[in-house]
C-alpha cells in the first residue's frame, strides 16, 4: 500500500482491459490510491472505474477531451471537488494516425500532437495549480521509445512523444522547488489489442530485437508508474524510465 491516501488522475482509459491506462489505474488502486479516470468516452472511463472499485478504492469516471483547455479545467475541478486534492497525474491519453510523411494529412499531424502532447500540457497545467498549493505532487508522462528512436510512418507520433520528454524535463525544473516531481515512462512493444493485429512475421521480427525475448504487458508499465509515484522515488525527477525489455539502450 505504497500510495495509501493518495488521489490519482489517469487520462486515456481505453477500451482494452489489457491496455496501459487500465493497467495503471488498477495498479495505483492496488497500492492504496483513489483514482479518477479521465477518458474521451465516458463508457470507457466507467469500465476502468469499476475495476478500481473492485480493488476496494474510490473511483471517479469523467469525460474529458484533453486537447481542449475548457474540458480539462472542468474535469480537474470535478476531481478536486470530489476528492479534495490531487496527488498524482498520469498523462496516458494518446492516439495514432500513422502514414509516411509525403502521405500524412495535416489534420492527422494536428490531431496526434493535440492529444498526445498538448493534452499532457493542458492536464499538467491544470493539476500543477493544485499541487503547488499543496507543495507536493507527482506527474508521470507516458511517452514511448518512438520518442527516443523515431519510427518510419510515425513522424507525428514520434514527434509528440519526443515533445513529452522535453515537457517532462522542463516541468521537473520548474516545479521541483514546490516538491512536485515530474518523470516519464517510455514503453516499448506492449502486448495489447493493437499488437494482436500485427502479422506473425512482424511479431517474430520484433521479438528477435528484444533482449528479454517477449513483449511487455500493461502491468510492466504500471509497475514503473507506481514506483515513480511512490516515496521510494522521492529523489527522482526529470527522468525517462524505459520499459522495453532492453530494446533501446542509451
- Residue 157 designated active-site: yes
Which residue out of 83, 109, 121, 157 is catalytically annotated? Answer: 157
Upper half-sphere CA count for residue 190 (Cβ side, 13 Å):
25
Tracing cell 471517479 back to the chain, one arrives at 60
Q: Which residues of 170-196 are buried (b: 16+ CB within 10 A; e: fewer)?
A: ebbeebeeeebbbbbbbbbbbebeeee
Q: What is the C-alpha radius of gyration for the chain, rounded to an integer number of angstroms?
A: 17
- Alpha-carbon span 80 to 7, nearest angstrom: 9
Catalytic (active-site) positions: 157
Amino acid at each position: 500500500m505504497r500510495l495509501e491516501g493518495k488521489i490519482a488522475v489517469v487520462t486515456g482509459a481505453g477500451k482494452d482491459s489489457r491496455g496501459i491506462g487500465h493497467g495503471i489505474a488498477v495498479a495505483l488502486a492496488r497500492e492504496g490510491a483513489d483514482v479518477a479516470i479521465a477518458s474521451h468516452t465516458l463508457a470507457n472511463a466507467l469500465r476502468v472505474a469499476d475495476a478500481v472499485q473492485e480493488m476496494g478504492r474510490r473511483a471517479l469516471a469523467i469525460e474529458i477531451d484533453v486537447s481542449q483547455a475548457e474540458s480539462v479545467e472542468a474535469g480537474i475541478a470535478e476531481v478536486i471537488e470530489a476528492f479534495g486534492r490531487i496527488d498524482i497525474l498520469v498523462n496516458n491519453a494518446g492516439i495514432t494516425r500513422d502514414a509516411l510523411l509525403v502521405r500524412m494529412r495535416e489534420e492527422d499531424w494536428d490531431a496526434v500532437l493535440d492529444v498526445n502532447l498538448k493534452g499532457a500540457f493542458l492536464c499538467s497545467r491544470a493539476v500543477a495549480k493544485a499541487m503547488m498549493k499543496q507543495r507536493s505532487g507527482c506527474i508521470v508522462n507516458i511517452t514511448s521509445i518512438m520518442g527516443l528512436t523515431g519510427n518510419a510512418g510515425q513522424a507525428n507520433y514520434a514527434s509528440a512523444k519526443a515533445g513529452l520528454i522535453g515537457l517532462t524535463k522542463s516541468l521537473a525544473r520548474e516545479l521541483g522547488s514546490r516538491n512536485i516531481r515530474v518523470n516519464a515512462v517510455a514503453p516499448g512493444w506492449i502486448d495489447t489489442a493493437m499488437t494482436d493485429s500485427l502479422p506473425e512475421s512482424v511479431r517474430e521480427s520484433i521479438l528477435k530485437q528484444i533482449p528479454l525475448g517477449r513483449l511487455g504487458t500493461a502491468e510492466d508499465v504500471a509497475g514503473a508508474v507506481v514506483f515513480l509515484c511512490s516515496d521510494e522515488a522521492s529523489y527522482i525527477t526529470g527522468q525517462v524510465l524505459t520499459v522495453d525489455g532492453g530494446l533501446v539502450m542509451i
